[in-house]
Structure 1
Amino acid sequence: MTLTLIKKTMAYLFIFVLSSSVQATVLLNSSYDVSRELFSALNVIFEKQWAQTHPNDILIVKQSHAGSSKQALSILQGLKADVVTYNQVTDVQILHDKGQLIPSNWQKRLPNNSSPFYSTMAFLVRKGNPKNIKDWNDLVRTDVKLIFSNPKTSGNGRYAWLAAWGVANLMNENDTLQTRKFMKQLLQNVEVFDTGGRGATTTFVGHKIGDVLISFESEVNTIRDRYVQQGYEVIVPTINIMAKFPVTWIDKNLSQNHTEKVAKAYLHYLYTPSAQKIMTHFYYRVNNPELMKQNKNRFPYTKFFTIEQMFGSWDRMTQIHFSNGGELDQILAERHE
């Protein structure tokens, strides 16, 4: 064997030994429809941080996106996600109630009831705001056409529905009959019910349907910034719902995937100042007063109400509004009468 061949053989052996000592870990995050850009940015930073402290472990964070309720159903049907980052409590809670995949106290495992960031609803209107949209009242005018996602399949759509209902309820001093009239007119103005928030954005921006897109504040600001030449404008209503975005790790899946350590580290990372700063860049609100102060120009003041304040509890709200034959079904049927 020549010296050159010996050297090549030794080099191959070294590469083989090195590669055999390095493992690859895949972490799957099941998330809601319009969070793609946010987690693309967050994941890159976390992967680098993980590599620094775990040099023999190559981490790949993968994403799954759809309407929040549809995502939860996919996990119940067998999607082996390690963590979920959803936009409503019910889509996480169902993983316990229907699948026993997480414990009942999942909200107590991380700060702020396991919600590292939050948002609210906002309106995206076309250049110059031709319909002069200023607040919720303007959305029930007969000359206004709306786009928002289906509350049956999307947390985004549910928050749009609940925000409108809550504001109407406040305006009508808890007169349910008048609030239902408001919601009936709102639904009559809806042009398209897409299954998720990003689909609603595509309908409004790509297909140019509708006068107003109702979506998360983060989504409409991102779209405005991306399509500057289109001149879209953002309106944040003066009274609005607080949309908390709960997260958790999926205990049953972690034991099967052997990803417990990295999954928990990933969700704790979402609470770090560096991650929270990235969130504000994507127009998400955070429970960090200093960061919010630094970004006050990005987040107009709005008077918030929560699900619990307006509807009593998530369970009660879900039963009244989104169960079969609930308020949403009833008013959808009435709008065609």
Structure 2
Amino acid sequence: MATRKLPWINLAAVAAAALAITLIVVKNVEGKAPAKLLNVSYDPTRELYRDINAGFTAGYEKASGRAIEVLQSHGGSSRQARLAVGGELKPDVVTLGLPSDVDVLRKHGQIADGWAARLPNQSRPYYSTIVFVVRQGNPQGIHDWPDLVKPGVEVITPDPKSSGNGKLTALAAWGAIVTRGGSEVAARAYLKTLYEHTPFLVPAARAAGTAFAVEKIGDVHLAWENEALREVAEARGQLEIVYPPVSILAEPSVAWVDANVASHGSAEAARAYLEYLFTDEGQEIIARNGYRPFKPQILANHADKLPPLKLFAVTAIARDWDDAQSKFFADNGIIDTVYRPKPR
């Protein structure tokens, strides 16, 4: 019986290929494979985190030797929190508009207790507030909260059930009454009248800004300060910012999502990403994008764009952010008594 000849095999080449594969596997096990993070954020932070991501990834890759990509998701802050809780989004980090939105994930077991104490300044890398954007020359003479409910004034603001901007607008409007001597009865009546001046309530901040600045609907837009600065800059003289005499101190907050970073193997990168927000470099990027950095000196360096303001804390109208969420925005809370959804 003839002996079947086997094809010639280059054993040296096979050994070399096996060694190369082994080295790749070992390198990946050591944590050198390209990494990805998902940052679930609120609606108007697209430009901010575009710049943050560029600064962070360059420094992280240089320090660690590991490539990293940060993916973004944006929407109304409260809606983003609900999507994360429900599993439609699986963020490594959340960077949301209100501390109470981050705490929703803690209440559902996705973020550890005491999350706010894990980063500087109670995990609040910057502040903001609600201001007014008006048409060139301010034809309606809007300077203070009572001016918003003058006859004929049309107000553009997002839905307080889905948007951090919408929630903060409601809290700022309420506080503008009670912190200046008005009663809660008067504040409730004012909020009801304010919503009667809104033609519709879109789900998130950026859509409200588009309706006002691009589609030219309404007389005044109640906006995050950073959104107001962006809108005015892009409008080339067609819009103006009005700073009301009093508004709310907004405290956007950040956290890594413990349940997800554990399953993704991203805990170290997620923490480094959020820590970058509190560095001088991160704080400068924050200020350049129209947010108020928590470091006083960096804020002072940008006083030409971010002037001193009179802002009241949430404790002027509730015990804390969690209490404000329950008091104003829970089912049958204050908002349910003064507003009806007005989808566009």
TM-score by length of 2: 0.88
Name the larger-Rg structure: 2
Aligned-pair distance for 1:256? Answer: 0.5
Q: Counterpart in 2 of 1:259?
A: 266
CA contact (8 A) 1:123 1:236 kept: yes
Q: Counterpart in 2 of 1:196?
A: 204
CA contact (8 A) 2:213 2:235 kept: no
For residue 228 of structure 2, the aligned residue among 220, 223, 230 is 220
What CA distance in whole angstroms lies between the structure 2 residues aligned with 1:249 and 1:166? Answer: 31
TM-score by length of 1: 0.90
Q: Counterpart in 1 of 2:7?
A: none
Aligned-pair distance for 1:315? Answer: 2.9
What CA distance in whole angstroms lies between the structure 2 residues aligned with 1:300 and 1:145? Answer: 27
CA RMSD of aligned residues (A): 2.1
What CA distance in whole angstroms lies between the structure 1 residues aligned with 2:336 and 2:102? Answer: 23
Aligned-pair distance for 1:333? Answer: 5.2
CA contact (8 A) 1:66 1:196 kept: yes
Matches within 5 A, 1:68-87: 68-78=77-87, 79-87=89-97
Question: Does 1:45 pair with 2:52?
Answer: no
* 319-328 or 147-156, which deviates more: 319-328
> Structure 2: which 5+ residue stretches go unaligned?
1-12
Question: Does 1:142 pair with 2:112?
Answer: no
CA contact (8 A) 1:238 1:301 kept: no
| Equivalent position SS for 1:296 | coil
Question: Does 1:108 pair with 2:117?
Answer: yes
What CA distance in whole angstroms lies between the structure 1 residues aligned with 2:45 and 2:260? Answer: 22
How many residue pairs are counted as aligned between the two chains? 319
What CA distance in whole angstroms lies between the structure 1 residues aligned with 2:55 and 2:246? Answer: 35
Q: Counterpart in 2 of 1:27?
A: 37
Aligned-pair distance for 1:126? Answer: 1.2
> Structure 1: which 5+ residue stretches go unaligned?
1-8
* 103-112 or 325-334, which deviates more: 325-334
Q: Counterpart in 2 of 1:5?
A: none
Identity %: 34
CA contact (8 A) 1:237 1:302 kept: no
Aligned-pair distance for 1:276? Answer: 0.5
| AA aligned opposite 2:132 | F
CA contact (8 A) 2:41 2:77 kept: yes
What CA distance in whole angstroms lies between the structure 2 residues aligned with 1:202 and 1:189? Answer: 18
Question: Does 1:177 pair with 2:185?
Answer: yes
Question: Does 1:66 pair with 2:75?
Answer: yes
Q: Counterpart in 1 of 2:247?
A: 240
Q: Structure 1 residues 145, 196: CA separation in 2 closer, same or farther (over 3 Å shift)?
A: same
| Equivalent position SS for 1:101 | coil
What CA distance in whole angstroms lies between the structure 1 residues aligned with 2:23 and 2:100? Answer: 43
